[in-house]
Chains A and B, each alone.
Chain A
Amino acid sequence: MIILAMYIAIFAAAAIVWAIVGAPFVRKDPFTALKTVTFGDESAIRSNRFASVVSVISIFLIWASFTGSTLIPNALHVPGPFQGETSFEYEATAPDGTTDAGTVRALVHPVGAAVETPSLEGLEESGFAKNFTSTIPAYRSATIVAGKLLDDRKTQKITSIDGTPIAPGGAVDIATGQVRMNAKGSLTFEPLQGMQMAEQYLPPPEKVGKRFVSLIFDGYQNVTLFEHLGLSLFRVFVGFFLGCLVGIPLGYAMGLNGWFRGWFDPIVEFMRPVPPLALIPLIIIWLGIWETGKISLLFLAALWIMAISARSGVSGVRISKVHAAYSLGASKWQILKNVIVPNSLPDIFTGARVAMGVCWGTVVAAELVAAQKGAGKMIIEASKFSLTDIVIVGILLIGVVGFGIDILMRKLENYLIPWKGKG
């Protein structure tokens, strides 16, 4: 909630700043500059570079701020968990009405740091309530069973914390945290958590960066990052390639021949809406969790998309082009090669981009379920050990690779079929 509010606040603040001081930096293209009507004129809308930059920076800042990152000054951090030494006093009552007080000291330390328990020196030890000392890693809490504090926990009861009365099930807030009492009379001390996120939930950016580097060179579980990603990509390419190899001719056949269309239409139309992920269980049953299984899955994911796009590429050919080719003396085969295939390429490419995206998503999901190596395998394995930094590196890279594939396909498309949409 706070994060969302902050994000909206940054959005609004940046927009206001831009509205006030941004105008001189706008590089208007001469044509749009002359337009008086821009609202509703989509072509007059230019993506604001400044907004994009601020957007990315603010996500990074929020991330850094809520994880206590060392990359940004401390002043920008949201309050972190309490760390350091703290103590509270408790009072206990014996059945005969006598009371006694004791002190609990605790050192709250960064996770993983080796620290010594604070000494109880200088505290007087008398009566039935004993002093107690302990260390607590940040974000954790410590439970102190009543028996550790009282001589006889059956009859003696803790009644107040730092002067505030407490009863079983109750809680008392102290300056550095909260003390709770359970039904059996034991105390739990939870130091202030602050607003930062524990590393196991969200590690700071520098940790993720460091992990990224170590994944590249050392890998995780003896498999480097490039092996993981490379294997995932390899699966996608093989599956996609096979899908094209079968799907495109199938689509052409469906577009050109009534028998083929009749035969395959029910199959294709049925298989198209089935998400490839739903096939994973069946594929595992049939083919096991090995390479064949995953590649078959990707093959199926690409197959229907490619078949349908090739078919619509064929049906999309303007009849006058086919007529023109016939009256220029072309044979059926020549028309297929010189008219139908080039005319269908834009559709096929659009299909290929979709298929690539679907395959990439599917391979990650399939690896989550069953794999030895691969991007999905890496993150699911890391998540089992709460290695959130690996999970985040993995997610970021999966996004980057998916985005990269799409950009590459677009570039390829512009290069190979410049006539797209110009017919």
Chain B
Amino acid sequence: MSGLKIDDISMRFDLPNGSHVQALQNVSLDLKSGELMSVLGPSGCGKTTLLNIVAGFLKQTSGEIILNDKKVTGPGAERGMVFQQGALFEWMSVRKNVSFGPDMKGMPKAKSNEIVEHLLDVVGLQDFKDKAVYELSGGMQQRVALARCLANDPDVILMDEPLGALDALTREKMQGLVLKLWKETGKTIILITHSVEEALLLGERLLVMAPRPGRIHKEYRLPFAEMGVGGDLREVKKHPDYNSTREEILAMIWDMEEEIMGRTDGAAA
């Protein structure tokens, strides 16, 4: 079967003081090849932990990750990662960053150059390819990160709040870019975000997680990503379903946060 299977994953962190945190409990998911799933949830519900397990950086306490019929046991080139920020190699030029994956594989220069040129075109950084990455703005740096990940041609792309550090306008632009890249490349994508709007706009599927223990709370299938591809994201936002779903999810997460932090609406009195 082609696709990503997250099978009954649990993750327990034992703390030095003897107690433990149940970061994930019995999380199961199936992603078909080419699906984009966004993940929402209050802080500390295990989103990053889940992504790190899929990426192979963490070993789950129990359960299995199976990608294209192969068990995941560690990090690998078939699962690309886009981090929030600061994961680019500042000692390399933009071009070198993007060609990192092909270079590591020992791909011939001519071929990797072709890939790099194409991707720089796609993300609109042709004019900056010989610049150092620290000379670029935050949005540009994230475009380099996307291109770097795509240059390696992974089956699955894992994104942990990839647009979290950007300003609102840049963020909207980048959302369009993510949709475009998704459609053009047909990659399977898991995208963690704190923005309900972003999750709605980008996620074909949307997963809401709940904390303590970290688990799947609810899953949605949404039409907005499909509508947004090639179109205007603002138009999508005017859709009545978009607004109602947004309100519903906001309320859901709000309730969960309140449970964690205690009620704030005058309950102290």
Chain A residues contacting B57 (CB-CB under 8 Å) are: 323, 326
Candidate in A325, A327, A343, A419 with the most chain B CB atoms within 10 angstroms: A327
User: Is A328 in contact with B148, judged by CB distance below 8 angstroms?
Assistant: yes
**Which of A324, A334, A345 has the most B CB atoms < 10 Å from its CB?**
A324
Q: Is A382 an interface residue (CB 8 A)?
A: no
Contact present for A342 and B89 (CB under 8 Å): yes
Interface of A is mostly: helix
Task: Please tell me if A95 contacts chain B, counting CB pairs below 8 Å.
Answer: no
Whether B89 lies near A323 (C-beta < 8 A) is: no
CA distance A339 to B90 in the complex (A): 10
For window 99-113 of B, CB contacts with A under 8 Å fall at: 100-101, 104-105
Among A318, A329, A334, max chain B CB count under 10 A is at: A329
| A321 within 8 A of partner (CB) | yes
B87 touches A323 (CB 8 A): yes
Taking CB atoms, residues of chain A closer than 8 Å to B87 are 318, 320-321, 323-324
- A320 to B149 alpha-carbon distance, docked (Å): 14
| A323 neighbours in B (Cβ, 8 Å) | 55, 57, 75, 81, 83, 87
- Given A318-B87, A339-B89, A343-B91, is A328 in contact with B55 using a C-beta cutoff of 8 Å? no
Contact of A419 among B55, B90, B148, B149 (CB under 8 A): B90
- B152 at the A interface (CB under 8 A): yes
Inter-chain CB contacts under 8 Å: number: 76
Contact between chains at B132 and A324 (CB < 8 Å): no
Residue ID in chain A nearest B135 by CB atoms: A422
Within 8 A of A (CB), among B108-165: 132, 134, 148-149, 152, 154, 158
Residues in B neighbouring A422, C-beta threshold 8 A: 90, 132, 134
Complex Cα spacing A331 to B104, Å: 8
- Contact partner of A328 (CB less than 8 A), chosen from B101, B132, B134, is B101
| Alpha-carbon distance between A133 and B224 when the two chains are bound, in angstroms | 116
In the complex, chain B residues whose CB is within 8 Å of the CB of A327: 55-56, 75-77, 79-81, 154, 158
Does A328 contact B89, Cβ atoms closer than 8 Å? no
Interface: A40 (CB within 8 A) = no
With A323-B87, A324-B83, A324-B87 known to touch, is A329 a contact of B132 (CB < 8 Å)? no
Closest to A331 in B: B104
Report yes or no: B89 in contact with A321, Cβ–Cβ below 8 A.
yes
Q: Which residues of A contact B105 (CB under 8 A)?
A: 329
Cβ proximity bits B63-95 to A, threshold 8 Å, 1 near / 0 not: 000000000001111011101001111111000
CA distance A326 to B55 in the complex (A): 10
Could you tell me the distance between the alpha carbons of A248 and B79 in the complex, rounded to whole angstroms? 34
Nearest chain A CB to B234's CB is how many angstroms away? 32
Which residues of B (202-217) have their CB < 8 Å from a CB of A? none
Instruction: Tell me whether B76 and A423 are in contact (CB under 8 A).
Output: no
Let me know if A329 and B134 touch, CB within 8 A. no
Which residues of A, 28-77, contact B by the 8 Å Cβ criterion? Answer: none
Closest B residue by C-beta to A323: B57
Which residues on A sit within 8 Å (CB–CB) of B86?
318, 320-321, 423
Interface string of A177-219 (1 = CB under 8 A from B): 0000000000000000000000000000000000000000000
For B132, what are the chain A residues with a Cβ–Cβ distance below 8 Å? 418-419, 422
The yes or no answer to A15 lying at the interface (CB within 8 A) is no
Q: How far is the CA of A338 from the CA of B103 in the complex (A)?
A: 11
User: Bound state CA distance, A23 and B74, in angstroms?
Assistant: 66
Q: Which residues on A sit within 8 Å (CB–CB) of B148? A: 324, 328
Chain A residues positioned under 8 Å from B89 (CB to CB) = 321, 325, 338-339, 342
Q: Are B91 and A330 in contact (CB under 8 A)?
A: no
Contact assessment for B104 and A334 in the assembled complex, using a CB-CB cutoff below 8 Å: yes
Q: 8 Å CB contacts to B: which residues of A338-355?
A: 338-339, 342-343, 345
> Chain A CB within 10 Å — which of B56, B80, B90 has the most?
B90
With the chains together, A243 CA to B148 CA distance in Å? Answer: 38
Contact A328 B83 (CB under 8 A): no
Considering the chains assembled together, what is the distance between the CA atoms of A139 and B140 in angstroms? Answer: 75
Give B158's nearest chain A residue, CB to CB. A327
Q: In whole angstroms, what is the CA distance A260 to B91 when docked? A: 28
If A323-B83, A324-B88, A326-B56 are given as contacts, then 15 extra A-B residue pairs at C-beta distance below 8 Å, sorted by A number, are A321-B87, A324-B148, A325-B89, A325-B104, A326-B74, A327-B80, A327-B81, A328-B80, A328-B100, A328-B149, A329-B104, A338-B104, A343-B91, A422-B90, A422-B132
Nearest first, the 8 closest Cβ-Cβ pairs linking A and B are: A329-B77, A422-B134, A326-B75, A342-B91, A328-B101, A320-B87, A419-B90, A324-B87
8 contacts between A and B (CB under 8 A): A320-B86, A323-B55, A323-B81, A328-B148, A330-B104, A331-B104, A338-B89, A343-B91
